[in-house]
């Protein structure tokens, strides 16, 4: 490469991080929380497997599998010995925070429905919290303080402009319908 050219991998990484608007520390914190939640779910799933009830055994195995999948999606460096991890990692990185919240939060409810015990509830809570972290990220940043204060006072100019424009368009539609019906009545009377 020449001096004026840059590495394509560096430019694509910087573009992908700049487009989503999420701070780097927030991404690392979310990944860390999800890895901790996945590892905790695997441990509680292991304790849930120590039972005589078949449904609790299935719930424990599901907790282990769901916890492993969360760790695999969030920290592929923990599973480098598997060949299929890189495509899965790329798939995970292309998901929006809302999709990750659903992927991590909803499957956590299944083991809890199968067997309601302390260990199952704890493991499911850890997985659901992992989904909750991404759910909060999906909500986005709060507005500026001045914007929030003006909306609280009712001084939202954008909303007022939109309402006025909608009201004007509705009144012109009503006037054109009234004019059209008067013209229709006059033409039928002429016949």
0.85 exceeded by pTM:
no
Report if residue 116 sits inside a domain: yes
In the numeric block, the tokens 């013209």 are attached to: 183
* Residues in contact with 108: Cβ distance below 8 Å, sequence separation at least 6, in sequence order: 41, 66, 123, 124, 125, 127, 128, 131
* Structural domain that includes position 64: 20-79+94-142
More confident residue, 83 or 115: 115
Report if residue 162 sits inside a domain: no
Percentage of residues of the chain with pLDDT beyond 90: 23
Report if residue 64 sits inside a domain: yes
pLDDT at 36: 92
Confidence of residue 6 (pLDDT cuts 50, 70, 90): very low
Report if residue 8 sits inside a domain: no
Report if residue 112 sits inside a domain: yes
Taking residues 6-10, what's their average pLDDT? 40
Taking residues 45-60, what's their average pLDDT? 90
Cβ–Cβ under 8 Å, residues 80 and 95: no
pLDDT at 150: 73
Confidence of residue 87 (pLDDT cuts 50, 70, 90): confident
Report if residue 151 sits inside a domain: no
- Distance CA(42)–CA(37), nearest Å, equals 9
Report if residue 181 sits inside a domain: no
Report if residue 149 sits inside a domain: no
The domain total for the chain is 1
Taking residues 115-122, what's their average pLDDT? 90
> Phi and psi dihedrals of 85, rounded to 5?
-70, -40
């Amino acid at each position: 490469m020449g001096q004026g050219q840059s590495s394509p991998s560096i430019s694509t990484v910087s573009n992908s991080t700049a487009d989503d608007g999420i701070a780097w520390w927030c991404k690392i914190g979310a990944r860390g929380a999800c890895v901790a939640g996945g590892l905790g779910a695997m441990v509680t799933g292991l304790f849930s497997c120590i039972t005589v009830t078949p449904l609790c055994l299935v719930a424990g195995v599901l907790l282990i599998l769901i916890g492993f999948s969360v760790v695999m999606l969030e920290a592929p460096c923990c599973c480098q010995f598997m060949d299929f991890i890189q495509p899965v990692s790329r798939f995970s990185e292309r998901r929006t925070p809302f999709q990750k919240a659903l992927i991590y939060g909803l499957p956590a409810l299944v083991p809890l429905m199968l067997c309601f015990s302390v260990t199952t509830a704890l493991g499911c809570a850890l997985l659901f919290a992992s989904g909750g972290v991404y759910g909060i990220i999906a909500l986005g940043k709060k507005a500026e303080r001045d914007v929030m204060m003006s909306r609280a006072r009712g001084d939202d100019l954008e909303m007022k402009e939109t309402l006025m424009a909608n009201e004007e368009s509705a009144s012109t539609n009503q006037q054109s319908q009234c004019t059209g019906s008067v013209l229709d009545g006059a033409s039928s009377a002429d016949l």
